[in-house]
Structure 1
Amino acid sequence: MFAGCAATPEAPPGADRQRVSCMTEIQPEMQVHLDLVDAMIDRGKPYAALAQLESKRLSTEDHWLRRGQLLAMTGHLSQAEHTFRQLVDQCHSGRSYHGLGMTLLKQSRLEEALPYLEKARVLAPASADVRNDYGYALLLAHRPYEAATELRTALELNSGKGPVRQNLATAYMLTQNQAGLDLLRDRYHFGVDEYAYARKLARELGGQP
C-alpha cells in the first residue's frame, strides 16, 4: 500500500513561490519554447536550459516538471524536491510522483523515494522510464525478484533499448536467472561490456554472480 506523503518542507532560499500549474494543454508557441529547452538538455547544457525555461512564464505542468528536472540536474536538489512536492500535492500526476521519487533517490533517501516511485508506476504503468527507475530502486532495496518484473516490463516497453538492459541483467544475476540472461544475449544482443557492468553492479549490491 502506498505510504502517506511526508510533510512538505519549507521552500529553500531563492525558490520560486509561484503556484505551480497543472495545465496539460500546450499551445504551439509554448511547445516551441519547450522544444528549445529540450534541445539544450540534449546538448548537455542544463544550466542554459534552466535559464531559457525561466525566461518565460511557467504556464503548464510540463514547464514545472522540466524546472524540477533541471534543478536536480544542476545540483539544486532541495529546490527540485520543493518543486516536485508542489506538483505532487496539486497535480497528483504520475510524472510528478516520478520526479519526486528520483530527486529523493539522488539524495540517497531510498526508503522515502520508493513509495513515490511505486505510486508513479501505478499512475503511469506504460512508462518505460518509470518502470526502469522503480525497478532500479527495488534493486537498491535488495528486492531483486520484484525488480526483475519491473525491469523486464520496461525493457519490452522500450523495445530492448537503454540502461534498463544492464539493470535487468543485474536483477537476473542476483536471482540466478540464467534463462533470463540467455534471453538478453540471444534476443537483445546483450554485449560483453554490458555484462561486465551488470556483474559489477550485482557485486556491489551484495550478490555473487
Structure 2
Amino acid sequence: MSHATLSRWVHAAVGVVCLSALGGCASTSTPDTPWTQSQDAARASGRLTAADTNESNMQRGVCGAEMTATTGMQISLIRQMLNDGKPRAALAHLDDLALDTTRETLAEPRLLRGEALRETGKRDKADAVYATLTDTCLAADAWRGIARNHAARGQLGTALEAMQRAREARPIDAAIRNDLGYLYLLQGQPRRAEEEFLTALELSPGYARAARNLVMALYAQNDDRQAQGIAQRFGIDRNEVALLRQTRLAKADATPGTAGVVSRAAPNAVSRIAASPPSGAGAAITHTPIERPTDPGTLEIIRQ
C-alpha cells in the first residue's frame, strides 16, 4: 500500500470516528478493519485532506512532539499490527511512511521499529534503534528492549543491568517489574525476584504472568504453602502448578540458615496478594493464558 493510499484511508477513518462521537475528536480507537478503502472513503478523504493541516487537527505524541491526527492514526495502525503478531507488516509500513528516519523524528515510530526488528530476530538493528530512545520519555521501553535482546543472546548479567535501568526510568511499569523479577530468578536470586513480582501484582492486580512467576519464586525458596495459596487465588491449574514446582529456575539465596525462609516483609505481602480480588488493572499488559517463563527470549512485550 502506498503512502498516499494509507493517508487517504486514515483521513477517512478519522472522519468517521469524529462524526460518531458528535462531540469532537479528542481521541480515536484503533480500527480492526482491513487496510483497504471504498470509493466512498476515498471521496471522504478528499474532503479531509485540506483540513488536516489546521491546528485543530494537530495532536501531541507521548513525548510531546506535535503530529497530525493522520500520523497519530498511522502510528496506531502500525502498533496494532505488532499487537496482532505481524512485525514484518509493521516494518513494511514504517518503511513506506518514513515516520522514523532520523533521531529528530517522533519517538513512537522509532520504538515500534525497534520492537518489530527485535520480534523478527534482527536484534543488533533493534538495539541501534533503542539506543536513540534512551534519552527520551520512552527510555524505559528502550532499555527493556535492550534487556530482552541481551537475554535472548544468553547475556543475563547485561540483560539484568539494562532491565534495572528500565525500572529506574519507569518504576510503576508492572511488566518491567515482572521481567526484572524473572531475570533475578534466572540469576539465582529468588528473593529479589519475589519482591519484583509482588510489586508487579500490586501495581497491576490480576496480572496472571506475574502470579505464575511469583509461584515459581516461592517454590524456589521452598515456601510451598504460600506458592499453593497464590496458585489457588489466581486459578492456576494443578498441572501447571506441578510444572512450576518442578522448574525451580533458581535455588534459595545461599545464606546460612535461611533456606526456605521468605524475606521478612514478604509473608504479609504475599498474603495480601492472595486475598485481594483480581481486577482489570492488568488489561494494558498482554499475556497468553498458558505461557510460562521458561526461555529468556520470551520475556513479554507491554502493549499500551
3-state SS in 2 of match to 1:87: coil
3-state SS in 2 of match to 1:160: coil
Match 2:88 to one of 47, 65, 74: 47
Q: Find the aligned partners of 1:30 and 1:200 in 2 and give their Cα distance.
A: 49
Q: Find the aligned partners of 1:29 and 1:200 in 2 and give their Cα distance.
A: 51
Return the letter of the residue paired with 1:166. R
Quote the residue 2:189 is aligned against.
143
Quote the residue 1:106 is aligned against.
152
Q: Find the aligned partners of 2:220 and 2:196 in 1 and give their Cα distance.
A: 15
Quote the residue 1:119 is aligned against.
165
Quote the residue 1:37 is aligned against.
78
Alignment deviations for residues 130-183 of structure 1 (CA, whole Å, 9 cap, x no partner): 001111111111111000000111123222223222211111110122343133
Quote the residue 1:7 is aligned against.
none
Deviation at 1:50, TM superposition (A): 1.6
Q: Is the 8 A contact 2:187 2:250 kept in 1?
A: no
Sequence identity of aligned pairs in percent?
A: 26
Change (3 A) 1:169 1:32: same
Q: Is the 8 A contact 2:166 2:176 kept in 1?
A: yes
Change (3 A) 1:68 1:118: same
Q: Find the aligned partners of 1:54 and 1:200 in 2 and give their Cα distance.
A: 45
Alignment deviations for residues 92-123 of structure 1 (CA, whole Å, 9 cap, x no partner): 72222222111211211111111111111122
Q: Find the aligned partners of 2:243 and 2:78 in 1 and give their Cα distance.
A: 32
Q: Find the aligned partners of 1:69 and 1:147 in 2 and give their Cα distance.
A: 25
Question: What residue ranges of structure 2 are gaps of 5+ in the alignment?
Answer: 1-61, 253-259, 261-304
3-state SS in 2 of match to 1:113: helix
Q: Find the aligned partners of 2:203 and 2:229 in 1 and give their Cα distance.
A: 16
Moved over 3 A (4+): 22-27, 204-207
Q: Which moved more, 1:37-46 or 1:103-112?
A: 37-46
Alignment deviations for residues 13-35 of structure 1 (CA, whole Å, 9 cap, x no partner): xxxxxxxxx94446332321122
Q: Is the 8 A contact 2:190 2:250 kept in 1?
A: no
Q: Find the aligned partners of 1:111 and 1:26 in 2 and give their Cα distance.
A: 38
Change (3 A) 1:186 1:166: closer
Alignment deviations for residues 22-77 of structure 1 (CA, whole Å, 9 cap, x no partner): 94446332321122112222322111112122322123222111111110100101
Change (3 A) 1:191 1:62: same
Q: Find the aligned partners of 1:52 and 1:163 in 2 and give their Cα distance.
A: 31
Aligned residue pair count? 186
Does residue 91 in structure 1 map to residue 142 in structure 2?
no
User: Pairwise CA RMSD of aligned residues?
Assistant: 2.4
TM-score, length basis structure 2: 0.55
Match 1:157 to one of 203, 206, 218: 203
Quote the residue 1:65 is aligned against.
111
Change (3 A) 1:197 1:165: farther
**Larger-Rg structure:** 2
Q: Find the aligned partners of 2:150 and 2:66 in 1 and give their Cα distance.
A: 28
Quote the residue 1:134 is aligned against.
180
Quote the residue 1:12 is aligned against.
none
Match 1:166 to one of 193, 212, 218: 212
3-state SS in 2 of match to 1:54: helix
Return the letter of the residue paired with 1:159. P
Q: Which moved more, 1:90-99 or 1:150-159?
A: 90-99
3-state SS in 1 of match to 2:208: coil
